[in-house]
Chains A and B, each alone.
Chain A
């Protein structure tokens, strides 16, 4: 897939969903696949680095980012108005192998890790999908998932919504043919190890601090079963066994 650097991709929409979560739609008349990401910036010199943000949705005309305001970069992005532009490099990375995923699928997220999973579920075909998602206090972005999933199960840390506790309490991997997940590393590690023990294929979408996003800086190198890999270029999606076996 061609990787492009576009200095002015036009923002179509940028809406707060509450709790510091925003959904930004950008004009991008090119392909992007589930699990890939873009290096995004919406400023000139400060902060220095662009921000790696996963593809939430894409239709060949527009790409959608679901992001949480964490620092200066995402704060600036959150203030973009429709008609203004952002700078995009991408799409980069290897995403979910959607064509290999069949049968009963558990799609498991923690917090903003839900972001790359929408395009993933939309890209699956002939699957029965159960979305299990964990949040701090309150769910978001679930309406977009409804047409593509059979069931949604929610857990929150506070118990304000759904099950009080871990998202991993909501299901048993043994009940599924495949598990795909994105979220905090402790959650993904626990889940991937459980999948490995139960011999259920599992795909994890990893995150690391990175500078370039294309495999040049080697800032996001991770040990895997197949040697040193860049989270950005070789991932961000890996088989659970590559990372956690």
Chain B
């Protein structure tokens, strides 16, 4: 009933654990069998290993979480060597999330991932926490178009491009990425935000600005997904603040083919299972035979 096909990849359900909130699956596999997920998007990878940002990295807000991790990751090679074999033992779609600081590093990363059995590449052009990379790509449509076009030329895997809500125009950005050859889009990444420590009289984060996620961003993310689904022909994966099956259903009804669950994993380690079960029950109650029947159902 929940079976979903995204860019030719068949998933048992439309629920994907979002990049940066699920490690490489091991941490949550101790709570539940992660094979029950539709897919897992890996922690954002870069060509080289990165420590990430110094100083405070997480800050809680009302219904939200601001993070400044800065793409801490072991690098593409270590992922392929040490983490991908674990993920491949699981019966779930494996999506390699790839970030970078230069176009060359993106291309080199893609070429390495081409040679693996990952199901899909999610191109992160939207990380707000890395200086000189990610963010400018995610804001300027022309820069994004060029990057996606070049990646597309070398990428042999289905290519999903992850958009930033900080884009100068989210619909224009989506259209340009589609034009550049993206097979699908995922949106949204975190919203640029900040926090100030009033006793120290300075910003909480060393980078000053950081990325806001969690239930606080859900309505804005939903609006953006709705707008983009109305503009592009390629599939859209909706994310941003999903904390319940009802939130997931809303994204699907806005037109998303699948959803990603991020910050909520931190709150309840098996929240994805609740969402999968809740969606299934809802579809039954609604008399639906397939999840496809509710995709775009709320579009006016």
A residues touching B (Cβ–Cβ < 8 Å)?
2-5, 41, 45-50, 89, 209-221, 223, 228, 233
Additional pairs, 19, CB under 8 Å, beyond known A46-B62, A48-B63: A48-B61, A48-B62, A48-B65, A48-B214, A49-B267, A89-B31, A209-B59, A211-B65, A211-B67, A213-B266, A214-B30, A214-B269, A215-B27, A216-B21, A216-B23, A216-B265, A217-B67, A221-B69, A228-B52
List 12 A–B pairs whose Cβ atoms lie within 8 Å, in order of A's numbering: A3-B31, A5-B31, A47-B60, A48-B61, A48-B62, A89-B269, A210-B58, A211-B58, A211-B60, A211-B263, A214-B30, A228-B72
CB-CB < 8 A to A5: which residues of B? Answer: 31, 268-270
CB-CB < 8 A to A215: which residues of B? Answer: 23, 27
CB-CB < 8 A to B266: which residues of A? Answer: 49-50, 211-213, 216-217
B36-69 interface code vs A (CB 8 A; 1 in, 0 out): 0000000100000001100011111111110101
CB-CB < 8 A to B191: which residues of A? Answer: none
Q: In the bound complex, do residue B65 and residue A218 qualify as a contact, i.e. CB atoms below 8 Å apart?
A: no
CB-CB < 8 A to A217: which residues of B? Answer: 20-21, 58, 67, 69, 266
B residues touching A (Cβ–Cβ < 8 Å)?
20-23, 27-28, 30-31, 43, 51-52, 56-65, 67, 69, 72, 214-215, 243, 263, 265-270
Chain B interface helix/strand/loop/mixed: loop
CB distance from A206 to the nearest CB of B (A): 14
A221 CA to B72 CA, complexed, in Å: 9
Q: In the bound complex, do residue B51 and residue A228 qualify as a contact, i.e. CB atoms below 8 Å apart?
A: yes
CB distance from A194 to the nearest CB of B (A): 26
A233 CA to B63 CA, complexed, in Å: 25
CB-CB < 8 A to A48: which residues of B? Answer: 60-65, 214-215, 263, 267
Query: Which of A4, A46, A49 meets B65, CB within 8 Å?
Result: A49
Q: In the bound complex, do residue B265 and residue A212 qualify as a contact, i.e. CB atoms below 8 Å apart?
A: yes
A213 CA to B241 CA, complexed, in Å: 19
Q: In the bound complex, do residue A49 and residue B60 qualify as a contact, i.e. CB atoms below 8 Å apart?
A: yes
CB distance from A112 to the nearest CB of B (A): 19
A49 CA to B60 CA, complexed, in Å: 7
A223 CA to B30 CA, complexed, in Å: 26
A210 CA to B20 CA, complexed, in Å: 14
Q: In the bound complex, do residue B30 and residue A3 qualify as a contact, i.e. CB atoms below 8 Å apart?
A: yes
CB distance from B63 to the nearest CB of A (A): 6
Q: In the bound complex, do residue A219 and residue B27 qualify as a contact, i.e. CB atoms below 8 Å apart?
A: no
Whose C-beta in chain B lies nearest to the C-beta of A1? B30
Q: In the bound complex, do residue B65 and residue A209 qualify as a contact, i.e. CB atoms below 8 Å apart?
A: no
CB distance from B69 to the nearest CB of A (A): 5
Interface centre among A2, A41, A45, A49 (most CB of B within 10 A): A49
CB distance from B226 to the nearest CB of A (A): 24
CB-CB < 8 A to A46: which residues of B? Answer: 62-63
CB distance from A43 to the nearest CB of B (A): 11
CB-CB < 8 A to B27: which residues of A? Answer: 212, 214-216, 233
Complex A-B, nearest 9 residue pairs according to Cβ-Cβ distance, in ascending order: A219-B58, A212-B266, A216-B23, A214-B27, A211-B266, A216-B27, A219-B57, A218-B72, A3-B30
CB-CB < 8 A to A219: which residues of B? Answer: 57-58, 67, 69
Interface centre among A2, A47, A212, A220 (most CB of B within 10 A): A212
CB-CB < 8 A to B52: which residues of A? Answer: 218, 221, 228
Whose C-beta in chain A lies nearest to the C-beta of B216? A48
A91 CA to B118 CA, complexed, in Å: 33
CB distance from B274 to the nearest CB of A (A): 10
CB distance from A36 to the nearest CB of B (A): 14
CB-CB < 8 A to B30: which residues of A? Answer: 2-3, 214
Q: In the bound complex, do residue A209 and residue B63 qualify as a contact, i.e. CB atoms below 8 Å apart?
A: no
A215 CA to B21 CA, complexed, in Å: 10
CB distance from B129 to the nearest CB of A (A): 11
Q: In the bound complex, do residue A221 and residue B51 qualify as a contact, i.e. CB atoms below 8 Å apart?
A: yes
A5 CA to B27 CA, complexed, in Å: 13
A177 CA to B203 CA, complexed, in Å: 43
A88 CA to B64 CA, complexed, in Å: 21
A41 CA to B271 CA, complexed, in Å: 15
Query: Which of B63, B69, B265 meets A218, CB within 8 Å?
Result: B69
Whose C-beta in chain B lies nearest to the C-beta of A217? B266
